[in-house]
Amino acid sequence: MLKKLLGSKIVWGVVCFVLIGILVYNVKDSFFTDSDTKKLGFENIGELATQSAYCSQVDTIKDARSLFGMEIPFTQSQYVYSYDIVIKAGFDFKRIIPDVNDKKKVITIHMPKPKILSSEIKEDSCKVYVEDKSCFTPLTVEKMGKARIRMKEVAEKNAIANGLYENAIENAKKLLKNFVGELYNLEEYQIKFEEDNK
Domain holding 178, by residue range, is: 47-195
Instruction: Identify whether 30 is part of a domain.
Output: yes
pLDDT at 129: 85
- Pair (102, 159) in one structural domain: yes
Instruction: Identify whether 40 is part of a domain.
Output: no
pLDDT at 107: 94
Q: How many CB atoms lie within 10 A of CB 93?
A: 20
Instruction: Identify whether 41 is part of a domain.
Output: no
- Pair (55, 28) in one structural domain: no
- Pair (109, 146) in one structural domain: yes
Q: How many folded domains does the chain comprise?
A: 2
pLDDT at 60: 82
Quick: pLDDT tens for 34-59. 334 344 455 555 678 899 999 988 88
- Pair (80, 130) in one structural domain: yes
- Pair (21, 57) in one structural domain: no
Average pLDDT score over residue span 134-148: 73
pLDDT value at 141 more than 60: yes
pLDDT band at 122 (very low <50, low <70, confident <90, very high): very high
- Pair (31, 54) in one structural domain: no
- Pair (17, 58) in one structural domain: no
pLDDT band at 105 (very low <50, low <70, confident <90, very high): very high
pLDDT value at 121 more than 80: yes
pLDDT at 161: 95
Quick: pLDDT tens for 85-103. 999 999 988 888 989 999 9
Instruction: Identify whether 42 is part of a domain.
Output: no
Q: pTM here?
A: 0.68
Strand pairing class (190-195; 106-111): parallel
- Pair (61, 21) in one structural domain: no
- Pair (109, 176) in one structural domain: yes
pLDDT value at 25 more than 50: no
For the chain, counts of helices (H) and of strands (E): 3, 8
pLDDT at 198: 62
Quick: pLDDT tens for 60-84. 877 666 555 666 666 677 778 889 9
Three-class SS string for 123-180?
A: EEEEEEEEEECECCECCCHHHHHHHHHHHHHHHHHHHHHCCHHHHHHHHHHHHHHHHH
Among 130, 141, 158, which residue's Cα sits nearest to residue 60?
Answer: 130
- Pair (131, 181) in one structural domain: yes
The residue that leads in pLDDT, 27 or 135, is 135
- Pair (9, 93) in one structural domain: no
Cα separation, 9 vs 122, in Å, equals 86
- Pair (68, 15) in one structural domain: no
